[in-house]
């Protein structure tokens, strides 16, 4: 990864799950989406100011993809 920030979904998943050690559970993904989708949230406003709207939108898209990729209840995760 040449940029210090993830540039695509695979880099983002690696950053979150490997480098940060955070599993992409349904609860975590839902909680983060609630924050990122709330434009009035202080955290969201700070993120947008620091990293820009394009990266903010990318992160929302990556969380939405992670949400879609979650196994259906009772199924095991792929891998």
Is 77 domain-assigned?
Answer: no
| Collapsed DSSP state (helix, strand, coil) of residue 61 | helix
- Give the pLDDT of the chain (79 residues) as one tens digit per residue: 567 889 999 999 999 999 999 999 999 999 999 999 999 999 999 999 999 999 999 999 999 999 999 875 544 444 4
Q: Which residue has the tokens 């394009």?
A: 54
- How far is CA 22 from its chain centroid? 11
Is 33 domain-assigned?
Answer: yes
Q: Which residue has the tokens 């989406």?
A: 33
Is 21 domain-assigned?
Answer: yes
Does pTM surpass 0.85?
A: no
Inter-residue contact 12 to 54 (CB < 8 Å)? no
Is 2 domain-assigned?
Answer: no
Is 43 domain-assigned?
Answer: yes
Residues of the domain holding 30: 9-69
């Amino acid at each position: 990864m040449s940029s210090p920030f993830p540039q695509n979904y695979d880099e983002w998943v690696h950053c979150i799950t490997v480098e940060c050690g955070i599993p992409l559970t349904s609860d975590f993904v839902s909680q983060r989406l609630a924050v990122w989708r709330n434009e009035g949230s202080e955290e969201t406003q700070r993120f947008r100011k620091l990293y820009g709207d394009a990266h903010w939108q990318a992160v929302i898209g990556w969380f939405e993809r992670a949400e879609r990729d979650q196994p259906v209840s009772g199924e095991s995760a792929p891998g």
